[in-house]
């Protein structure tokens, strides 16, 4: 076996057995196809002796599988289970029998009511029987043997290793070492893996199968890989008994981040995760790594700033991956709370296709923070409303009443200043010039140093297209003022922007 990890999927067996409503054949077929589309080449499809329904679905999945995919079925160490497993596999193109028994001191005594030696003898007898049956079928079916509760075998590890040597000599090619219940810490388990690996023939494939009772199954699996376990038993979305099995998504991405060639199609992870969640009726929790709705959300100002500055990079600030790696698309979420900063405001406005400068986002940030302190996280629409209200439509001492063309380049301007009516005719090179001229005649001098007009491509469908004017004015103390306004008439957008500027100048 190469150094590449060999992903062995257990969603249809360990995952399925823990569901409130186990999958029927139709559902299993659909999931089987998703697993192969991910590029996973080994799939445990069920436990034929557990029920007629499981036997039938194993048989059907065997027929359905292509010659490239290893299909495996589970059997306890007894003749009946092994017979029905082999019967289910009889038409397989590439097959495995997976048999298991515990050798843990606690479990043999308290659950099997046997000595460790009695359990080992059952395992040896089953391995021998399985090999004889497979040979008589003249089929190339390999054998995987699992020491259930291997993680609990620290005190009798030498005995377990001696038993495993015998099982390998009887024909098992893969030895699976489950952390059936996660009780301790990853490296304690990894040390045991290393010891088994050192003592078994180098051709034996070492496999790990970790449950996630303490939330460390990914860590244990990844570290076991680096300690020599090349087969990694994982479940999609970490389904499985209790807190689940090792999550395939997390392991595959973690190894990829460690520059290990995984051989799987990571870009299918997100889509598959959503399908599995729906089919298993198991919600993806908010904070689930990689696939959770919140997994790529940033709320603190420092994090938002780093994330936005490195948005399109593979190695991003404050995130483990570029979301595109798992096919997640560009949905890094920037939420605005009282902890957030100017970069978030800037990004939200830009993402909605409105122009904004950093100075404007600094101004809006303090308003948005005050609002978020009262309300909690602000929705994007609330940030946009602030932008329209406080940037594009500034209320103040000037109030525009009308601006109308009288003749060619002559315009009439009518407004109030501190409630007092003002009226003048302006002339110039176009409406903006004429507006400035009219204001000058009334004693309000303004200097325009820069001017831009945008056509807004976020105009609501069916409505007239809108323009935004951006006008840079020199304020009363020579400070620079940026004034914006939106209107369907470009001339009015300009005049409104001038009035927004005046309302910033005269407070
Ligand atoms: O968790 C476990 O030990 C198992 C075995 C059957 C491999 O699922
Ligand atoms: Zn398991």
| H or E stretch covering 206 | strand 205-210
Going from the Cα of 485 to the center of ligand 2, the distance in angstroms, rounded, reads: 63
Helix ranges (H only) for 24-115 are 25-37, 52-64, 79-88, 105-107
Atom 5 of ligand 1: nearest residue by CA position = 148
Residue matched to tokens 């680096």: 226
**pLDDT in the model for residue 2:** 61
Structure tokens at 159: 């005995």
Ligand sitting nearest the alpha carbon of 98: 1
Atom 8 of ligand 1: nearest residue by CA position = 14
**pLDDT in the model for residue 258:** 97
**pLDDT in the model for residue 359:** 87
Torsion sign across C-alpha atoms 134, 135, 136, 140: positive
Closest ligand 1 atom to residue 245 Cα is 1
Q: 27 - beta bridge partners? A: none
Helix ranges (H only) for 157-293 are 157-169, 186-199, 217-226, 248-257, 269-280
**pLDDT in the model for residue 82:** 98
pLDDT tens digit at each of 507 positions of the chain: 568 999 999 999 999 999 999 999 999 999 999 999 999 999 999 999 999 999 999 999 999 999 999 999 999 999 999 999 999 999 999 999 999 999 999 999 999 999 999 999 999 999 999 999 999 999 999 999 999 999 999 999 999 999 999 999 999 999 999 999 999 999 999 999 999 999 999 999 999 999 999 999 999 999 999 999 999 999 999 999 999 999 999 999 999 999 999 999 999 999 999 999 999 999 999 999 999 989 988 989 899 899 989 988 989 999 999 999 999 976 667 889 999 999 889 989 988 889 999 889 999 999 999 999 999 999 999 999 999 999 999 999 999 999 999 999 999 999 999 999 999 999 999 999 999 999 999 999 899 998 999 988 666 555 678 899 999 998 777 778 999 999 999 999 999 999 999 999 987
- Place domain 398-505 in its CATH homologous superfamily: Alpha-isopropylmalate synthase LeuA, regulatory domain (3.30.160.270)
Does residue 100 have its Cβ closer than 6 Å to ligand 1? yes
Q: Which of 100, 102, 112 to mutate to test the pocket of ligand 1 (most atoms within 8 A of CB)?
A: 100
Going from the Cα of 210 to the center of ligand 2, the distance in angstroms, rounded, reads: 7
Q: Which residues contact 201 (CB under 8 A, 6 or more apart)?
A: 168
Q: Which of 8, 178, 239 to mutate to test the pocket of ligand 1 (most atoms within 8 A of CB)?
A: 178
Structure tokens at 66: 């292509």
pTM of the model: 0.82
The CA-atom distances, in angstroms, between 460 and each of 366, 385, 454 are 29, 15, 15
In angstroms, rounded to a whole number, what is the distance separating the alpha carbons of residues 367 and 390?
Answer: 9
**pLDDT in the model for residue 331:** 63
Torsion sign across C-alpha atoms 426, 427, 433, 434: positive
Closest ligand 1 atom to residue 149 Cα is 3
Domain ranges in the chain are 6-264, 297-390, 398-505
In angstroms, rounded to a whole number, what is the distance separating the alpha carbons of residues 373 and 388?
Answer: 20
In angstroms, rounded to a whole number, what is the distance separating the alpha carbons of residues 28 and 17?
Answer: 12
Coil vs helix vs strand at 33: helix
Task: Look at domain 6-264 and name its CATH class.
Answer: alpha beta
Does residue 104 have its Cβ closer than 6 Å to ligand 1? no
**pLDDT in the model for residue 437:** 96
Does residue 244 have its Cβ closer than 6 Å to ligand 1? no
Closest ligand 1 atom to residue 13 Cα is 8
Atom 2 of ligand 1: nearest residue by CA position = 180
Q: Are 60 and 96 in contact (CB under 8 A)?
A: no
| H or E stretch covering 400 | strand 398-407
**pLDDT in the model for residue 1:** 54
Structure tokens at 273: 């995760």
Q: 100 - beta bridge partners? A: 76, 146
């Amino acid at each position: 076996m190469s150094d590449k990890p060999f992903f062995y999927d257990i969603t249809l067996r360990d995952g399925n057995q823990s569901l409130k409503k186990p999958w029927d054949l139709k559902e299993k077929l659909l999931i089987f196809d998703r697993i192969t589309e991910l590029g996973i080449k080994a799939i445990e499809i069920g436990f034929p002796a557990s029920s007629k329904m499981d036997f039938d679905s194993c048989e059907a999945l065997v027929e359905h599988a292509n010659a490239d995919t290893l299909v495996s079925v589970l059997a306890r160490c007894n003749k009946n289970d092994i017979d029905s497993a082999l019967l289910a596999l009889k038409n397989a193109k590439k097959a495995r029998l997976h048999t298991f028994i515990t050798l843990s001191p606690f479990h043999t005594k308290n659950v099997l009511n046997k000595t460790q030696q009695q359990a080992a003898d059952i395992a040896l007898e089953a391995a021998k029987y399985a090999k004889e049956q497979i040979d008589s079928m003249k089929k190339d079916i390999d054998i995987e043997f699992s020491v259930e509760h291997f993680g609990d075998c620290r005190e009798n590890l030498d005995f377990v290793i001696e038993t495993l040597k015998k099982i390998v000599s009887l024909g098992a090619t893969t030895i699976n070492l489950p952390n059936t219940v996660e009780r301790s810490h990853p490296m304690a388990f990894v040390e045991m893996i290393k010891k088994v690996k050192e003592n078994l023939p180098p051709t034996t494939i070492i496999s790990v199968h970790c449950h996630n009772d303490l939330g460390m199954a990914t860590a244990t699996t990844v570290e076991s890989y680096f300690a020599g376990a090349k087969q990694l038993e994982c479940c999609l979305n970490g389904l499985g008994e209790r807190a689940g099995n090792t999550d395939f998504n997390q392991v595959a991405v973690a190894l990829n981040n460690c520059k290990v060639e995984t051989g799987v199609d990571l870009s299918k992870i997100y889509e598959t995760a959503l399908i599995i969640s729906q089919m298993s009726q198991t919600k993806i929790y908010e904070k689930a790594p990689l696939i959770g709705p919140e997994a790529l959300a940033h709320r603190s100002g420092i994090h938002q700033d780093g994330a936005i500055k490195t948005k399109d990079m593979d190695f991003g600030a404050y995130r483990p991956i570029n979301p595109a790696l798992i096919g997640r698309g560009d949905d890094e979420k920037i939420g605005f709370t009282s902890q957030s900063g100017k970069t978030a405001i800037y990004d939200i406005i830009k993402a909605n296709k409105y122009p904004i400068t950093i100075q404007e986002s600094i101004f809006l940030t303090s308003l948005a923070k005050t609002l978020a302190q009262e309300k909690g996280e602000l929705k994007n629409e609330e940030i946009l409303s602030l932008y329209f209200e406080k940037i594009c439509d500034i209320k103040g001492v000037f109030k525009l009443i009308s601006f109308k063309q009288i003749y060619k380049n002559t315009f009439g301007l009518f407004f109030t200043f501190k409630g007092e009516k003002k009226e003048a005719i302006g002339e110039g090179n176009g409406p903006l010039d004429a507006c400035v001229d009219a204001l000058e005649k009334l004693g309000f001098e303004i200097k325009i140093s820069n001017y831009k007009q945008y056509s807004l491509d976020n105009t609501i469908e069916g409505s007239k297209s809108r323009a935004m004017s951006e006008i840079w004015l020199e304020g009363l103390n020579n400070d620079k003022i940026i004034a914006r306004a939106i209107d369907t008439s470009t001339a009015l957008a300009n005049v409104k922007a001038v009035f927004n500027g005046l309302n910033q100048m005269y407070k």
